[in-house]
């Protein structure tokens, strides 16, 4: 059972938009920065969004992040078949003994 | 090129030890916190441990506390994870990951990941 809650799967057609939610609490998302990662099959995770809504250089603006209260959302527009991957949210959690990083359980994106 | 390369994984019996290493290149290693993150086969990501730039602050997941020890050698641009009393549930791909900041408790994101080293705990 992950500390952060994500839907197990989402799907949409090429060219469409999809959103992935990440729900937490005041000890994690509510008071800390959220990041999002894309993990293509058989590869290491890749940073997509940091500090809730910032994109590293090289990440297209089709990817966006937002945060409100104790929830965060990853948005992907103009879906491409190459976007099929697992997506994870992550943040710091101060409720753990001495604190620690927590992740969502991951969301598998299928581009139909 | 910014790069993290893990090594040291393998097959080990329950109760035995293993030491993982991560060699960093392409960035100023001693400016940043570093972490270990693992992923069991077919499962999600799990943070294991983090260490600040100067080794002054260290943290562990409850699942490994007392058994694993993280360390770094800034002169060698290297991160380590000493894993003792290994259990079957420690079987996973272990990733070395760079933090965007210098203190692991001021976590912003993991912006660089290695390709991982596989640890299998089985008799």
pLDDT, tens digit, 9 for 90 and up, residues B16-46: 999 999 999 999 999 999 999 999 999 999 9
Q: Are B110 and B98 in contact (CB under 8 A)?
A: yes
What pLDDT sits at residue A1? Answer: 81
Of B35, B46, B95, the CB nearest to A44: B95
Q: Judging by beta carbons within 10 Å of its beta carbon (0-12, 13-18, 19+), is residue B90 exposed, middle or buried?
A: buried
Q: How far is Cα A46 from Cα A98, in angstroms, rounded to an integer?
A: 26
Q: What is the pLDDT of residues A45-98, one digit of tens each?
A: 999 999 999 999 999 999 999 999 999 999 999 999 999 999 999 999 998 676
What pLDDT sits at residue A95? Answer: 84
Q: How far is Cα A17 from Cα A100, in angstroms, rounded to an integer?
A: 32
What pLDDT sits at residue B104? Answer: 85
B95: Cα separation from own chain's centroid: 6
Evaluate the CA torsion angle B57, A105, A61, A81 in order and state its sign.
positive
The mean pLDDT of A27-45, rounded to a whole number, is 96
The A-side interface with B (CB below 8 A) comprises: 2, 32-33, 35, 37, 43-47, 50-51, 56, 86, 88, 90-92, 96-106
Contact A45 B113 (CB under 8 A): yes
Q: Show residues of chain B in contact with A2, CB under 8 Å.
A: 44
What pLDDT sits at residue A98? Answer: 67
What pLDDT sits at residue A97? Answer: 72
pLDDT at A20 over 80: yes
Of B61, B95, B108, the CB nearest to A50: B108
Q: Is B53 on the interface with A (CB under 8 A)?
A: no
Contact A35 B109 (CB under 8 A): yes
Contact A50 B100 (CB under 8 A): yes
| Token code pair at residue B93 | 């791909």
Of B62, B100, B107, the CB nearest to A92: B107
Of B95, B107, B116, the CB nearest to A101: B107
**A71 pairs with which residues across the strands?**
A23, A68
Q: Show residues of chain B in contact with A47, CB under 8 Å.
A: 109-113
- Give chain B's residues under pLDDT 50: none
């Amino acid at each position: 059972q992950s500390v952060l809650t994500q839907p197990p799967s989402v799907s949409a057609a090429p060219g469409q938009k999809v959103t992935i939610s990440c729900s937490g609490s005041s000890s994690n998302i509510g008071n800390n920065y959220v990041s999002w990662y894309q993990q293509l099959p058989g590869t290491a995770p890749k940073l997509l969004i940091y500090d809730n809504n910032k994109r590293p250089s090289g990440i297209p603006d089709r990817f966006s992040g937002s945060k409100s209260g104790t929830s965060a959302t990853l948005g992907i527009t103009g879906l491409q078949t190459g976007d099929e991957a697992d997506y994870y949210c992550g943040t710091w959690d101060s409720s753990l003994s001495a604190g620690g990083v927590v992740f969502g359980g991951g969301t598998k994106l299928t581009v139909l | 090129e910014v790069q993290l390369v893990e090594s040291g994984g393998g097959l080990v019996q329950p109760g035995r030890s293993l030491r993982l290493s991560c060699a960093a290149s392409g960035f100023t290693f001693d400016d940043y916190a570093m972490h270990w993150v693992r992923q069991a086969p077919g499962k999600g990501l799990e943070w294991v441990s983090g260490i600040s730039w100067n080794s002054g602050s260290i943290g562990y997941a409850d699942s490994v506390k007392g058994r694993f020890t993280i360390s770094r050698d800034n002169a060698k641009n290297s991160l380590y994870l000493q894993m003792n009393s290994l259990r079957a549930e420690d079987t996973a791909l272990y990733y070395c990951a760079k933090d965007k900041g210098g203190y692991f408790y001021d976590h912003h994101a993991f912006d660089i990941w290695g390709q991982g080293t596989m640890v299998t705990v089985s008799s």
